[in-house]
Amino acid sequence: MSLEVVDLGRLPYADAYAVQTATLDRVLASRDSASPLTGVILTVEHDPVITVSRRAGAADHIITSRDTLAQMGIAVEETDRGGDITYHGPGQQVVYPILDLNALNLGLHAYMRLLEQAVIDTCTEFGVPAQRDASATGVWVPIDPRSSRTVAGESESNSPTLAKVCAMGVRVRRWISMHGLAINVRTDLRHFATIVPCGLHGRPVCSLESLLGAGAPTLPEVRSVLVRTLQGSIERQREHTVAERARRA
């Protein structure tokens, strides 16, 4: 089985979604072939867009008028991923792993934890102490809201809190994954103020740039580390699955 990596550059959300669905169909068609695909990792940077899931009430978390959003150059798109509402835009690294979770013997919970760990490991490589939050999917960084001037959103208290550096939302069809993660590298955090990110009130959003300042990595640097980390995690899972199935045969 093979794992491909394709960088789509910068694309509108709808165009990238079309690539996702076509890639999913290709991975699915290869499942019973002589050369099955483990999957394809798509990387992309989006034009400014708010994506709203089909979850009841998600659209209510847009807190800026559509006219103002249009003036800001921010589109609004419905999406079929899980989760609630988020923002994508320049300076944010989006990764869509289109993976055969059946071939990898990965349930949805384990898959989400794999994605989170890949982002945590990537942030650690750049000196950012990222972590999980047991109450919310994604990757978070502890901040002091009293001293941070570049974090979007307001904490509900002045005590140290967790700010989201990476949002996640997926969909699975025939046990092949779509959508994925978005890590804020040098993102314009002011755009997150147009929504309630992920529908979580009082939870701030940060970027590697807001945390590291001028020393923040570039988008290509983050993409390289994140893809390498993901590839390693997926390959280890594949090898474990192959060995486990051989043992049971």
Q: Is residue 204 helix, strand or coil?
A: coil
- Which of 71, 40, 63, 81 has the alpha carbon at shortest distance from 167? 81
Q: Residue type for 159, please?
A: S
CA angle 186, 112, 83 (to 5 degrees): 70
Helix (H) or strand (E) holding 45: strand 37-46
Q: Is residue 130 helix, strand or coil?
A: coil
Q: Facing residues of 10 across strands?
A: 45
Active-site residues, by number, are 198
| Residue 12: other Cβ atoms inside 10 A | 15
Task: Give me the DSSP letters along 11-36.
Answer: E-HHHHHHHHHHHHHHHHHHTTSSS-
